[in-house]
Structure 1
Amino acid sequence: MGVVQFYTGSLIAGLLYAASAASTHANETPSSAGKTIKFSGSQYYPPLEWIDENGSAHGFISDLEREMANVTDHQADIQLMQWNAALQAVLTGDADAVPLIASEQRSAQFDFTQPFFYVAHGIFARNDGPQFTSLDQLANRRVAVARGAYAEDQFVATDYNVELVFARDELNCLEVVTQRLADACVEVATTSRALIERYDLPLQLTSPPFWPQPYAFGVRKGNTELLDLLNSQLAHLVVTGKYQQLSERWASELEWQQPSLLEQVKDLAWLISALLVATLAVASWGWLLRREVQAKTAELSDELKISKNLQQQVAYAATHDDLTGLLNRKAFFDIINNQLPLDAQQRLTIVVVKIANIDSIITTFGYTSAVNTVKHFAQRLQRVQSATHAHFGSGLFGVITSEPLSIALLVEQLATSQDISWNDIEPSPVYGVASLTQSDSEQIDAAELVRHALTALAHARKRRIPFFEYTQRIEPNAEQLQLLDEFHKVGCKQFVLHYQQQLSLNSDGRHHIEALIRWQHPSLGLISPNRFIPMLEKSGGIRKVTRWVILEAVKKLVWFQRLGIEVVISVNITSHDLVDDFFVPFVRDDIPESLRDHLIFEVTERELFDNPDKARSAMLELSSMGIRCSVDDFGTGYSTLSYLHDLAVDEVKLDRLFVSQICHNERSFKIVKSTIELAHELGLTVVAEGVEDDATMARLAELNCDRIQGFLIAKPVPEETLDIVVTRN
């Protein structure tokens, strides 16, 4: 069985899972239907990909990329170049994806699709020179590798004592050996053999293949939207049979081929001739010739053993994680699915474990420390008896068992650090647990069971607890997922602003209004911000929304100025904006100086103290530009007025919880009274929100509150009616 035929079967489960998982990701789509996906790649990598004399891309991967693009009505723009330039094109954004070996070293910069092929490396040397059968024999030798290639990463990461000679690309790696500038070239066996034949190079493969690795598409780190699209396209090709058809077209060139019996006989032609001559001439030489035949037979037997070992290595690599030696995700899912549906009284428990501090370990102590942490934790995990263990990658592990399991005891056992040396970093694992009984096992598969455990893990991380067991009540809100998906499709196009007036009790000659965002959904109607703002804050989309609101408010201020109306607009921002390094430059570049003193940025009290140092720096810069800052919902957090003064705050908005009770709750009255007095002592303006009756307004006027806001004054109104309301004020 060849490599292509072997992997065609393994694609189905992994890529179908990727296709289902793609629908759960809520990120922006890289390009809509009918647009172009830019693929980069190597120009010297036959039969996988190469450029002909007319500059056209050919090869198994190039055909696969075109078929993938057709699935979603995209165009495939395939640009083949020097290998290192192909990698950089994706990292700089000049290309979307590149086919490459998926390795731990590259995972720091790339995210990988499901594998679609497997490759192995080999040692290539001159026909008339030393023949190297293993990497150990390359010690103290000059070894050529292509710049940016997987071989370079492997030699740099290990202690092989070789002198590296860096080549421009795969073809140049072989050429420098023919030019005697290097003793050997280490490259992918299949492609290098094709290059040797195509360019008639006096080289040969001298070693059995090694480093069997999966081949996948790589996208720039964090570009999950494109990753999901490519996985979905691959899955479609598999389930429709197009991947199998494409594999069969290229199978004769892609499959690893051992030397044929005819080739072996040709290699021994001199021996056969010698046998004939010796038999006819001198019968006494027969014993010597028989010894030679036996020696060659032994060599052939050794080669067969090497081939068998290679097949075993490839089979092992297809089911095991290279870093930890545990099962990979595909094999783990297969084991679960093979046990379903469960027998009566049988119970399965799955635990997914995430090393929560893995990213911090990488950024603080380096990639090597992170790798060691993952390896040591994998060894610790294998102590769990009567269980199957797997590593999904990036510090995410899975455990499945049918034995009774105490998750609390498991957490305690894996927390021991006897295998951690003084210079290792202790992992911070978080656990998600899901269980399955016979009654539910007919309606669920491995992917859904793992999703349950991952949902529990996400809930544990959100609550900052070590573990959580899955229940139906923690399922993600379907409406929020729908809204998040639509937000990434349409952006801010369906948002509208409503405006609510404030009344100045001590008139400063200006009208004050607050901009309040709404979602005018085509099917769900007008949606309150309480239903989508928290979701956008978690997903990172709130930064885009804040900028949109600010720019819309600026447009409205320009409109008011043309009417000769002095208006100040309050806009809500979040702590995410204050800690965003690009927020202050955005304000400086996109808000005209003449309008800055007509804007007030409101941030809630709780958010203000999530990152006080960063907030202080940002608010000081905003203040220096003439933009005032207000603390919203004041009184519900833990701040003091003096601390707010240090943060360059210009006003505070009293929370409606206190304001609404000042007429019948003495405690609330005293809190509001003292806050107004202290705020005025510090030169701060006080705004009371939630004013809904005349008695409350009168009491606030007695306390010298500066402005009030609430339904008694005005309800939030759409933009088109705001000019009428302002005219009447």
Structure 2
Amino acid sequence: MNIETSLIPDRRRLLSELNRKIHSAQKNNTLLALIIVHLKHLREINNEFGYEIADKLLQELFNRLESLLQPGDFIVRIGDNEFALVLSNLNGIGQGIIAANRILGLCDNPMEISGQLIKIKLAAGVSIYPDHALDSEVLFKHADTAVTYARRNQDGYMIYSDIHDHDGTTTYVMRTELEEATINDKLEFFYQPKIHLKDRTIAGFEVLARWTSNSLGEVKPDTFINLAEATGLIAPLTVKAITIALRQCKDLLAINSNYSIALNISAQILNDPDIASLIMNTISIWCTNPSQLILEITEGAIMSNPEASLNSLGQLHNSGIKISIDDFGTGYSSLSYLKKLPVDEIKIDKSFVLNMNEDKGNANIVKSVIDLAHNFNLNTVAEGVENEEILNELERMGCDVAQGFYIARPMPHDELNPWIMNWGN
């Protein structure tokens, strides 16, 4: 483990070491995280306790940060109240998020310095190679940008995202408005029906979030979901989405016990140890049968941190909630993990379904996924059904459920009942 034991600020050494780590990550096809940690209110600590105690506090903070490192990681002081940590050999961004949370955990208890108990506050900014930059200078700039936003917005940590513009104005506005929209129920939710292929009856609905910013207009879902992940809003946004969907569909689910609603969840919230209880509390408030809620997560998200995913998904599944692997076939999950994961269904990515009648290769993939799922006693859902020919072919292949524009486009809640009545007729 390479540790900078001196507290003399040394940004040049950081960049040199970062270059070496990037070269190694490129060679080994791994990720690395640069985390800049900012100690807040150092001036006030100096004024209240004196410079000697403040220096000892910085040394103790350095030691505690050092204790979080793994072999191959690196730490160096880069400013009066800032440290940089380089985490090597990562398999996914989720590990960088976990590290940031562990760093912030150092604030949980006061530090005892020369008999004085001092409560500290930290901010952290995270940038990931190669997702956010390919060289040390830009990676450092992005981590510095992220920690600046974390300090400014009173957030514990922030992950740099490519949605940041050169001065951060757009991102700052979006983040502020998204938080306000989440708190004040200004997000819109649309529902896309799914049907059983065997008898064409309604299986349920996928819930899709939409957001129109006051200043920026309609924002693409991928953009505001990435922003929510980068700014720590993803957990409250997820719980809010589940709350609104259960509230809007309460009567529908009560009358039709075979209906379900499905929502996408982020890999990031699987790292939150409280997420299962938060979701279950929401379900109990609206008196919903847990089995009528399906949580969809992509296979790539699961495999970014399979052990954490296994634990969180296990808690949710044991509570009665159904788990679906979304966009199956586009990621890199292995059969060994498919066997271990508490999964109820596989959702076949629309890129294979859309033109499967013209592309024999895609048709073979769809049939193989259906057979694979059934061998594991899992249901299959095909998305991207846009004509009757594909619908009939999926039924012939043995697919269980389908959704797509041919069946229905996503619609607001107040259009659901008329559509249901029309479909039944």
TM band (smaller chain)? 0.5 to 0.7
CA distance in 1, matches of 2:232, 2:54: 36
Task: Give the TM-score of the pair, scaled to structure 1.
Answer: 0.39
| Contact 1:554 1:595 survives alignment (8 Å) | no
What residue number does 2:237 align with? 545
Identity %: 27
Shift in Å, 1:496: 1.4
The structure-2 alpha-carbon separation of the partners of 1:363 and 1:150, relative to structure 1 and needing over 3 Å to count, comes to: farther
The structure-2 alpha-carbon separation of the partners of 1:567 and 1:526, relative to structure 1 and needing over 3 Å to count, comes to: farther
| Contact 1:480 1:532 survives alignment (8 Å) | no
What residue number does 2:225 align with? 533
SS of aligned partner of 1:591: helix
SS of aligned partner of 1:701: helix
CA deviation string 1:152-202 (max 9, x = no partner): 9479x59xxxxxxxxxxxxxxxxxxxxxxxxxxxxxxxxxxxxxxxxxxxx
What residue number does 1:361 align with? 66
1:467 aligns with 2:136: yes
CA distance in 2, matches of 1:577, 1:154: 36
Shift in Å, 1:574: 1.1
1:514 aligned to which of 206, 213, 216: 206
SS of aligned partner of 2:289: helix
SS of aligned partner of 1:597: helix
Shift in Å, 1:652: 0.7
CA distance in 1, matches of 2:228, 2:67: 27
2:376 aligned to which of 682, 704, 707: 682
What residue number does 2:283 align with? 591
1:112 aligns with 2:41: yes
CA distance in 2, matches of 1:519, 1:653: 25
Summarize the alignment of residues 323-338 of structure 1 with structure 2, pairs less than 5 Å apart. Answer: none
Shift in Å, 1:479: 3.7
| Contact 1:656 1:688 survives alignment (8 Å) | yes
The structure-2 alpha-carbon separation of the partners of 1:487 and 1:152, relative to structure 1 and needing over 3 Å to count, comes to: same
Shift in Å, 1:506: 2.2
Shift in Å, 1:667: 1.1
CA deviation string 1:382-406 (max 9, x = no partner): xxxxxxxxx3531269xxxxxxxxx
1:560 aligned to which of 249, 252, 262: 252
CA distance in 1, matches of 2:165, 2:180: 26
CA distance in 1, matches of 2:221, 2:64: 32
1:481 aligned to which of 172, 185, 206: 172
CA distance in 1, matches of 2:404, 2:63: 48
Summarize the alignment of residues 166-565 of structure 1 with structure 2, pairs less than 5 Å apart. Answer: 360-364=65-69, 374=76, 391-395=79-83, 458=127, 462-463=131-132, 465-468=134-137, 475=166, 478-493=169-184, 494-507=186-199, 511-561=203-253, 563-564=255-256
CA deviation string 1:511-553 (max 9, x = no partner): 3100000114345444331231111112221111100011112
The structure-2 alpha-carbon separation of the partners of 1:508 and 1:680, relative to structure 1 and needing over 3 Å to count, comes to: farther
CA distance in 2, matches of 1:647, 1:568: 21
CA distance in 2, matches of 1:461, 1:150: 42
Aligned residue identity for 2:66: I
The structure-2 alpha-carbon separation of the partners of 1:511 and 1:363, relative to structure 1 and needing over 3 Å to count, comes to: same
SS of aligned partner of 1:711: coil
Number of residues paired by the alignment? 320
Aligned residue identity for 1:577: I
1:652 aligns with 2:321: no
The structure-2 alpha-carbon separation of the partners of 1:684 and 1:548, relative to structure 1 and needing over 3 Å to count, comes to: same
Higher-RCO chain (CA-CA 8 Å, sequence separation at least 6): 2
Shift in Å, 1:645: 2.9
Shift in Å, 1:623: 1.6
CA distance in 2, matches of 1:502, 1:488: 31
- TM-align CA RMSD: 3.8
Larger radius of gyration: 1
| Contact 1:641 1:679 survives alignment (8 Å) | no
Task: Give the TM-score of the pair, scaled to structure 2.
Answer: 0.65
CA distance in 2, matches of 1:118, 1:642: 55
What residue number does 2:266 align with? 574
Shift in Å, 1:653: 0.7
Shift in Å, 1:362: 4.7
Unaligned runs of 5+ in 1: 1-107, 121-148, 159-321, 324-356, 379-390, 398-454
CA distance in 1, matches of 2:64, 2:402: 46
CA distance in 1, matches of 2:69, 2:84: 20
What residue number does 2:310 align with? 616
Unaligned runs of 5+ in 2: 1-36, 86-124, 143-161
CA deviation string 1:230-255 (max 9, x = no partner): xxxxxxxxxxxxxxxxxxxxxxxxxx
What residue number does 1:275 align with? none
